[in-house]
Amino acid sequence: MIEVHAVSKSYGALAAVDRLSFVAREGEIFGLIGPNGAGKTTTIKMIVNILAPDSGEILFSGRPMREEDKSRIGYLPEERGLYRKVRVNDMLLYLADLKGRPRHESQPVIEQWLSRFGLAQWKHRRIDELSKGMAQKVQFIAAVAHGPELLFFDEPFAGLDPVSADLFLESMRSFAREGRTVLFSTHIMDHAERICNRILLIDRGREVVSGTLAEVKERYGRNSVVVEFDGDIEFVKSLPYVSGVMSYPRWVEVELNRRGAHTELFQALAGRVSVTRFELVAPSLHKIFVDLVGPPEGDV
Residues 63 and 9 grouped into a single domain: yes
Asked, for residue 103, whether it belongs to a domain, the answer is yes
Is 292 inside a domain boundary?
no
Is 145 part of a structural domain of the chain? yes
The residue from 193, 217, 241 where one domain ends is 217
- Judging by DSSP bridges, how do beta strands 198-203 and 206-212 pair with one another? antiparallel
Q: Does residue 289 lie in a domain region? A: no
CA distances from 222 to 60, 234, 250, 257, 300 (A): 37, 23, 22, 11, 33
Judge whether 291 lies within some domain.
no
How far apart CA 83 and CA 238 sit, in angstroms, is 55
pLDDT for 71: 84
Does residue 101 share a domain with residue 21? yes
Ranges of H-type helices in 145-211: 162-177, 189-195
Residues of the chain with confidence (pLDDT) below 70:
221-222, 295-300
Residue 298: inside a domain: no
Q: Which domain holds residue 129?
A: 2-217
Asked if residue 237 and residue 206 are part of one domain, the reply reads no
CA 174, 179, 183, 187 dihedral sign is: positive
Say what the pLDDT of residue 61 is: 82
* 102 and 235 assigned to the same domain: no
pTM of the prediction? 0.77
Q: What share of the chain is helix, strand, coil (3-state, %, to 5)?
A: 35, 30, 35
245 domain-assigned: yes
158 inside domain: yes
CA–CA distances in Å: residue 133 to residues 84, 118, 121, 144, 224: 14, 11, 15, 17, 36
**155 and 272 belong to one structural domain:** no
- pLDDT in the model for residue 279: 85
Do 127 and 275 have their domain in common?
A: no
Half-sphere CA count of 213, side-chain side, radius 13 A? 20
The answer on 11 and 122 residing in a single domain is: yes
Number of domains present in the structure of the chain: 2
Q: Do residues 191 and 246 both lie within one domain? A: no
pLDDT value of residue 79: 80
Quick one: 65 exposed, middle or buried, by C-beta within 10 A (0-12, 13-18, 19+)? middle
Q: Note whether 185 and 235 are same-domain residues.
A: no
Q: Are 213 and 227 found together in one domain?
A: no
Are residues 92 and 181 located together in one domain of the fold? yes
Paired strand residues for 9: 17
CATH number, position 42: 3.40.50.300
Q: In the 8-state DSSP scheme, what is residue 286?
A: H
pLDDT at 110: 94
Q: Are residue 129 and residue 205 in the same domain, yes or no?
A: yes
